[in-house]
Amino acid sequence: MQPYEDRPANSLNQDYTYLYSGESGPTAKALDAAETPSGAFFYFLQPDLWEDIASESNDYFKENMDERVECQHTKQVARQLKHPEFKPKTKEQLRSELENYPGITPRELCVFIGLLIARSIVPNKEKLAHHWRTTGEGAIPRGCFGQFMVRDRFMHLSRSLHFSSNSNVRASGRRWACLERAHVFFWRVRYLILYPTD
């Protein structure tokens, strides 16, 4: 056979007899999940994945505690120089406050992602924090985001969101962090669609 010679349609089945030969298309589970946008979304992003991301985010927050304390203290000292009446907190006070932050939960991550999606639908070209304003301005709806999550908690999640451990030997950049979680999506797609063999 020549490299570019046409092959008969059934040659694949002859070469690989174990291939699936039934109907192709979305599975019944996939069709059920796709009845609603949220159903399709959560079909791919299973609770185990949310729990893993929440756990990694909490670990990342704890790993960077010293850096956060130092940064906040530096900002407060700089603020005191501009406003002498301002009294900066000690590093110990800042550390104590940060240690008392409640851990990130999978439910909060879902709300966080939902708010990011809502922000992309109704973009605010001024500042992210303006989504928490209570008064309307033009076509930008106000006060909606605050019904789901307070601004400081949203900012905490955005600073702490982390998908995989940096201490892993294979952790060599952002690409690895994404690939670490991508296997979940590939696994779900594998059971979502029946591929034709012809």
CA pair distance 180, 53, nearest whole angstrom: 11
113 is a domain residue: yes
Which of 103, 125, 153 corresponds to the end of one domain? 103
Model-wide pTM > 0.85:
no
Give the number of domains in the chain: 2
Bigger pLDDT: 45 or 22?
45
189 is a domain residue: no
CA pair distance 119, 151, nearest whole angstrom: 13
pLDDT digits (tens, 9 = 90+) for 93-141: 999 999 999 999 999 999 999 888 888 887 667 777 878 888 766 555 6
Beta-bridged to residue 194, according to DSSP, are: 25
Looking at the structure, tell me whether residues 68 and 99 fall in a common domain. Answer: yes
Please state, as a whole number, how many other Cβ atoms lie within 10 Å of the Cβ of residue 124. 16
CA pair distance 49, 127, nearest whole angstrom: 30
* pLDDT for residue 20 is more than 70: no
Looking at the structure, tell me whether residues 142 and 99 fall in a common domain. Answer: no
Q: Looking at residue 94, what is its pLDDT?
A: 92
Q: What residues make up the domain containing 88?
A: 64-103
